[in-house]
Structures are given as C-alpha cells and as structure tokens.
A and B are shown apart, each in its own frame.
Chain A
Amino acid sequence: MALAVEADQLVKRFSGRSGTVDAVRGVDLRVTEGEVFGFLGPNGAGKSTTVRMLTTLMTITSGSARVAGIDVTADPDAARRGIGVALQEAGLDPRQSGRELLVLQSRLFGSTAAQAADRAQELLELVDLVDAADRRIKGYSGGMKRRLDLASALVHQPQVLFLDEPTTGLDPASRLTVWEEMRRINAQGTTVFLTTQYLEEADQLCSRLAIIDGGVIVREGTPDELKAELRQRLSLAVEPSLDDVFLDATGRTRERIAGQVQEVQG
C-alpha cells in the first residue's frame, strides 16, 4: 500500500525570550492510504504541532514530511491540493452563510462558480445542513459548525483528511454524527488522520494509532496490538482498555479498586 502520510525525524523548535522549547522531537510516522489513523497524546504533547507541520501551516525545524506523496516543504501548494484540514478551532467565517463559505472554499481550489455551487449543495446534503445552508454561520450550534468545517475540508475531495480534535466540546449526539461522517468519508477512500483526546473515539474509529508524549512517539500499533502488548507485559488477568494503554504510555498508571477508578502518578 502507498503511504498517505510519511514523516521522518520531524522536529519543531520554538525559540522565544523565555528560551527554547522542542515541542516535537524526532517524530517518525507512516500512514497508509485508506487508513483512519489516530494520533493521541495528553495536552501539550505535540499533537497539534505535528498536524500543523504536516498540513503546511507551520515550518519544520528539521526532518521531512510527505503528505499525499508530496514533500510539504518543497512544494507546499501541491501538498495543500491533496489534503483537507479541519483544525481544533472550527475555521469558519461567522458573517457568511454555510453555503457561501462552501462556495468560496470551492472557488479557492479552482472551481468555476457553477461547479462550486453544485459542490456546496452536495456537501450540505452530506453533512445534513441543507435547511441551515442560507443562514449566517454565527447562528449555528457547535455541532453544526463542526459539520460545516468538515464539509469545507472536503470541497476538493482530498486524498488525506486531517482532523484535529474534531469532536472536542460536542455533545454525545453531535459526536456520533461526526463519527458517522468520518466513517462515510473514509469508506469513499479518503485517508483520515485524526487527533483526539477521547480514547473511546480512537478505539471506535481508528485502524491504527500512535501515542505521542513529550514530543516523541511512545506507542504505535493497532488498538488490539497495543492492548495485547500491555496485557502481556504487565501479566494482566483482564483485557486492558485503550485508557490503560494511554496511561501506561504516558507514564501514569491506574488502579482499579472495587469498581472505582483511581489515577495515580507512576
């Protein structure tokens, strides 16, 4: 299988008056075409910084990255044509309507006005926003904004879709709707690179995942492989959850006491 995302020794260093911080310290990643790849980590672990480098939004201090087969540093515009991006903060213009936003986004990718109008209608139907299409975005609910953001990342039918915490702050019903959209998009052949803080989400959606902590990858594999490895290593009597894998990988442990869950520093 061809690689949709490939990173070699990716490093991001921030320098400021208060000193130098290495937010990402030599990350290697391989995501094959058609996968839903989960990228997990605690707050400040380097997830979003890695995504911003892979999506051309941030310069790479050292190392290299290719998305959709294109080097993001050597030819960022070509890389941008191959990717769709929905970041943590839904990037929407509140003064436009949902339809206007999608038409504009489509035209920025080179569509004619007629093509852009058709594509906007298709996407509005896909994310179930036809009824709200001509209302200003500032009146949309959080879930509607998230779905519209997802739709705007799909206007040009990207090969790889980057979703940075797409369900953070959503209610359970909206979260399930976004999951459904993600599955549908992936079933159409789009590779999904998903960062999330919700381990259940990763367990439900991802075929493979990596856990980043302190700017380095600390675990990588399928959810089942990671659970089996932990069970074997710690000789656990019961199947661990992805939460257990995550806590173990990030240097914390959890004790189960009579049905209660207690988190302690390892």
Chain B
Amino acid sequence: MNQHLVLGQRAIREVLRTPESLFPTVFIPLFFLVVNVGQAGRIFPAGATSFLEGQNYAAFQVPSALLLAASFGSAALYLVEDIEGGYFDKLRAAPVSRTAIVLGRLSAEAAKSVAISALIVLLSLPFGISVASGALGFVLLLLLAAAWSVVFSGFMQLIALKSRSAAATQSGSLVFFPLLFLTPNFVPRDLLTRPMEIAATLNPVTYIMEALRSLILDDLAWAKIDRGFAVVAVFGLVMVALNVRTIRAYD
C-alpha cells in the first residue's frame, strides 16, 4: 500500500510538472461538445425532445466529452519514457510490488480524471446544463469517469509494455474513437438504426455513457448507474491483472 501511494504521488508530480499535457485533455472534449451541440442542437430542441428530460442537447452531449477527456490519459506515455530512460528497470530491480507499479500510475490517472471531469462539468454550466441527480450524482459522475480513465489507461499501458514504443502507444489511443462512435452518442439507443443499435449494445462503453447520461438527465436511476459501474469494475480488474502479469513476465 505504501509503495502504491509513493508511486502514485510521483505520477501526480509528473503530471503537475507538465501542465502543457493537460491543455488538450480539456480543450478537445470541450471543442467536440461545442461542435456537436452547434450541429445538432436545433434538431433536438429542449422542450420538444422527450429524451432530454427538460434539459438542452448540451446535457445529452456532456457524457461524451467526459469519456473523451478520461480517455486522454498520459500514464502510458510516461511509462514509455520510464522504459526508454531506464527508470522502469530501476523500479523492477527494487523489491517493489508489481501491482504497486501498475496501480501507482493508474491511481494518479484517476485523480487527474476527477479534477478534469469536474472542470468540464463546470465549464459546461454556461451551456445551461445541470446535474439532475444532485450532489451524490455529481460525485458518482466523477467517480465513473475516473474509473473509465483507469480502464483505458490500463489498456494503453498494456500497449506501452508490449511495444515499448511511444509511437505505438500513441496510436493505441485511436481505438477509443470507434468505441465512442459505436455508442448512442447523438441519440438514445432506441432511436439508432438496427445495425448501430446492435453494435452499441455490444459495446461496453455504451453502458458507461448511459450511466453518465442518466446522472445528468435523471434522478438517481440505479439500474443504469449500477450497470455502468459493473462494466468499469470488470474491465478495470482485467486491465490491472493483465498489466501486472505483463510486468512480471517483462524481460
């Protein structure tokens, strides 16, 4: 536990000392939010669109922005730097738990995601959105986005550990875009065409997006919230286990 915390503090320090890496993480999701709302906002007017639950289309789009921000993790790129610079070997040559090496970075990524998600929600307020599930819902919103950042950063770290290359790791992040667009990104699942609906149903990111969306548009809809947390819990455990196994077998 101590090693995990110490490595987590180091990873947070790393992020704070490269603030320029945070700018695209905030700017690009907000850019997509503005563009998507600008393009489709008039198609779905607040008063006449039942799935908006009385809010405007920006409220429907905020979960996409949160997921996008949570998928811009830098943990894997810092890991590649550690590998290339030899610091990763220094850690491996010390009696450090391999789980602590993985969790240190992922915990820092989760903490970063909480801060960035809170900032995005705050910056979305001028669009007229509100979090219908209240203070508890807001906390759950941040936790769910942070949990997704752990899953996706865990996936990116796997690429980093296998490829040991910054270019390959950077390319891995592009996987998120098909995952994002095969969700009910612009309309609810029941309004999608049949092939898209099937794809969205098979896509685990759909359930995280629907949970986030329910926290913004509805009161606490526990069935959707539980499903979202269950998905990140399962995938999070798988990612941590695969990361630990890869570090143990690292030659």
Contacts and interface: CB of A to CB of B under 8 A. Distances in A.
Interface of A: 55-59, 77-78, 80-81, 83, 85, 87-96, 100, 104-105, 107-110, 136, 152
B10 A104 contact: yes
Contact of B18 (A58, A95, A104, A108): A95
Given A107-B2, A108-B94, A109-B95, A100 B89 contact: no
Given A87-B89, A108-B3, A93 B10 contact: yes
Contacts, number: 70
A57 B95 contact: no
10 contacts: A57-B89, A80-B93, A80-B95, A85-B93, A87-B89, A87-B90, A89-B86, A91-B86, A100-B10, A108-B91
A88 B94 CA distance: 17
A83 B93 contact: yes
| Interface majority SS (helix, strand, loop, mixed), chain A | loop
Contacts of A88: 86
A110 B87 CA distance: 19
A55 B6 CA distance: 23
Given A95-B13, A104-B10, A108-B3, A80 B85 contact: no
A215 B13 CA distance: 42
A80 B94 contact: yes
B89 A108 contact: no
| Interface majority SS (helix, strand, loop, mixed), chain B | helix
B94 A109 contact: yes
Given A95-B17, A95-B18, A108-B6, A57 B86 contact: no
A167 to B, nearest CB: 16
Nearest to B251: A58
A81 B95 CA distance: 6
B96 interface: yes
Contacts of B94: 80, 105, 108-109
A95 B78 CA distance: 11
A85 B87 CA distance: 11
A87 B94 CA distance: 13
A55 B13 contact: no
